[in-house]
Amino acid sequence: MTEIIEPSHLDKYTMSKFAQAATNVDIARHLDSGKFLDMVQDVRNIYVGDPDTSSDATKLLDRIQGWHALSDALVNPDGDFAAAVTLLKDIGTHELAFGIWLESMIAHPDVFERINHEIVVPLSHPPNLLQDPPAPANHQDFLAFVKAYVGVALCIAVYAWSDSLPNARCRERALGILRLWQAIDGYREVREGRECCLMPTHPRLDCESFPAYPSNDVPTGVHGPWR
């Protein structure tokens, strides 16, 4: 990368695209080299008077480091859970970056294998790691939180997709699941945090308007994608 790119190439537009691309785990790992990181740091210092370019440079560095922290925390009981959650908060505020990240979480074999580890300690609900300060958490708590975060995120994505078609039946089922989770500790905080931690607020994604599920029509498995 450093053989074909020099600091003068990293203008506002290019830095913004790099920051978006770094939410993909493969690209983040590819960019995680000393020379490239030093180059981005130089650009951040050069453009200190340009808040947009400087901010994108910082965001790029944070996402590269954040993917490293998240990948490690998924398998390391002593991982940096706080740094990993910081990545989730960051990418959740940008719809495009969030979609790129979510695809990596469910489609990348290495990441999916890490997140697919079974939780061996029974938990009544995932912890709320989105609050400030976050709730105390061990490795099992962190895995439960990430699984819940991905589960809620996927359901919101399905809702948005079905609403755009529109597909009323699919949208109603997604809303029903979200309403059910709204009543469960841990899931409620993740769902409520969508404005700042998952994706921009959808004008129709209002829990008070969610249609209730008939007692015999609750989808299988909606009580815990993190288990």
The domain limits of the chain are: 1-87, 118-227
pTM of the model: 0.78
Could you give the residue ranges of the DSSP H alpha helices within the chain?
Answer: 12-21, 25-31, 34-46, 51-73, 81-91, 95-107, 109-115, 139-164, 168-182, 187-192
- Split at pLDDT 50, 70, 90, the class of 134 is confident
Q: What angle do CA 188, 194, 197 make, to 5 degrees?
A: 110
Q: What angle do CA 93, 98, 101 make, to 5 degrees?
A: 140
pLDDT per residue over 32-58, tens digit each? 988 899 999 988 888 877 888 889 999
Highest mean pLDDT among 19-28, 131-140, 156-165: 19-28
One-letter identity of residue 29: R
What's the token pair of residue 4? 């074909």
Torsion region of 145: left, alpha or beta (phi above 0 gives left; psi -120 to 50 gives alpha) = alpha
Closest CA to 161 of 175, 147, 148: 175
Residue 19 has pLDDT above 90, yes or no: yes
> What does pLDDT average to over the chain?
80
Give the phi and the psi of residue 18 in degrees, each rounded to 5. Answer: -65, -40
The separation between the first and the last C-alpha atoms of the chain, rounded to the nearest angstrom, is 40
Q: What is the percent of the chain where pLDDT is above 70?
A: 78
